[in-house]
Amino acid sequence: MKLPALKYTAPTSVEEACDLLAADEDAKIIAAGQSLIPIMAMRLARPSVLIDLARIPGLTDIDEVGDYVRLGSMVTHANILNSPVVARNLPMMAEAGRNIAHAQVRNRGTIGGSVAHGDAAGEWPLVLLALDGMVEVQSVRGRRTIDADDLFIGPFMTTIADDEVLTDIWIPSRRAGWGYGEFARRLGDYGIVNVAVALSTDGIDTPHARVTIGAAVGKVQRIPVAEEILNGAEFAPDLADEASMAGAESLSYISDMHGSAEYRRGLARELIRRTIVEAGVRT
């Protein structure tokens, strides 16, 4: 289906983009259009004007800032996979990103678009949540940060307001204690179950775990039941069994043409276990 008629604009600063968003409640930001254009073609979104971020300088940078990696929202998946800063500080990101589609998609799709779109099957929302990251957004009202824990609230729903531009993604460096697991029918397909685990050993006897799941559930989310079993206990593979069994049972799964809820529950149980073990081995 062809797109409906609409206006297009390409501001050269974040401030200008914010002004344009504030001036028209039906205006919408476009990054690479990989999700937005199909949605528009299906008439699920009818923006009056597209605000293209491609000409705004600084949104494609990846920097090491203290203990964090800062990624501009227009950084592409390919930029992330080719970045020595990411390889050094965020190996989970490098591992997860290998699962995103194919070279053509990775060359254009952006981290900001992926996070703002809030797809439960997206690799970046899950990594951001597992690694306890945050995003920085700007509007005519000013700037604010949103913790990943407060960001993803439902299927394709985030707490970024319609008039806010996502400018930066901040992720704390994590070189150890991480695991990433994804089950897809073929490498590059969206996962049927995605799991990411971060395990901190704050002194060897008191681990702190973030166990997260995507794709099998309606939004990327933590699994508190699994985290509680791991927290405060010395890590041992038996604990991974217990945490994955209880964690997998605690969730509500989606059911679609790729697999029933019951099938996903079984996959999740095993993938959570393996990913916790992987993170444990790396602590």
Contacts to ligand FAD by CB under 6 A: 28-36, 53, 73, 100-101, 105, 109-110, 112-114, 116-117, 122-123, 160, 165-166, 190
Q: Are 213 and 275 in contact (CB under 8 A)?
A: no
Closer CB to ligand FAD, 26 or 63, in the complex: 26
Which tokens sit at 54? Answer: 């491609």
- CA 13/CA 51 separation, integer angstroms: 11
Distances (CA, A) of 179 to 8, 32, 51, 201, 223: 42, 29, 37, 14, 15
Q: Which residue is nearest to ligand FAD (CB)?
A: 113
Q: State the nearest-atom distance from the C-beta of 68 to ligand FAD, in Å.
A: 19
Amino acid sitting at position 109: G
Nearer to ligand FAD, 163 or 278 (CB): 163
CB of 30 to ligand FAD, least distance (A): 4
CB of 137 or CB of 248, closer to ligand FAD: 137
Minimum Å gap between C-beta 109 and ligand FAD is 3
Nearer to ligand FAD, 107 or 250 (CB): 107
The Cα–Cα gap between 117 and 157 comes to: 7
d(CA 255, CA 263): 9
Element (H, E) at 208: strand 207-214
Cα separation values, 173 from 88, 128, 148, Å: 9, 11, 15
Report the residue number, 90 or 277, with the smaller CB distance to ligand FAD.
90
**Least distance CB 97 / ligand FAD (angstroms):** 9
Give the nearest distance from C-beta 234 to ligand FAD in angstroms: 35
